[in-house]
Amino acid sequence: MADLTNEVFFFGEYEHNLDSQGRLTIPSEWRQQQDTRLILLPGRANDLLLFPFATFREFLIKAGKLSLANKELQAALARIGAKARDCHCDKQGRIKIDKAMLQSINVTTTLKVIGAITHIKLCSVDTWNNMPDEGDDTYLDELQKISDNLADLNI
């Protein structure tokens, strides 16, 4: 079982304005230390995803165990590398977000910052507010699905 004592989890939701330079302030409770490092990737649901560097590093270690001569792996890593951005929080906890990435999710000044437990989801306020309302307790169904899948995997 993984040691989660120093793991950062992301809970809650916030609405933040970008500053004039396109920087977003990461909530202080989500920053591990002064030099927090996050990897930014476009998501699948008109959003951007911020992963802790440690999480992304685990992915890279797994990818590195595969054959580097593998054509499909090389293409996949190139696609990921072309889209990913390395973000370091400054002393005020801000990260710079690519203008093109913001435009891709229809954000100009205000965005929704959502704790997705293992990562941070960024999207427009409209995108978040227009998500289908499945009731207040559907997250419990999701917890059950995850628990059931973990049991199947013998984790």
Q: What is the DSSP string of 75-107?
A: HHHHHHHHH-EEEE--TTSEEE--HHHHHHTT-
Q: Is the pLDDT of residue 37 over 80?
A: yes
Position 52 scores a pLDDT of 92
CB 16 within 8 A of CB 29: no
The set of residues, in sequence order, having a beta carbon less than 8 Å from that of 63 and lying 6+ positions away, is 73, 77
Options 3.40.1550.20, 3.40.718.10, 3.40.50.720, 3.10.690.10; CATH of 24-131: 3.40.1550.20
Indicate yes or no: pTM above 0.85: no
At 67-112, the pLDDT tens digits run: 678 888 888 888 999 999 999 999 999 999 999 999 999 999 999 9
Query: Structural domain boundaries of the chain?
Result: 24-131
Q: What is the mean pLDDT of residues 11-36?
A: 88
What is the distance between the alpha carbons of residues 61 and 66, in angstroms, rounded to a whole number? Answer: 9
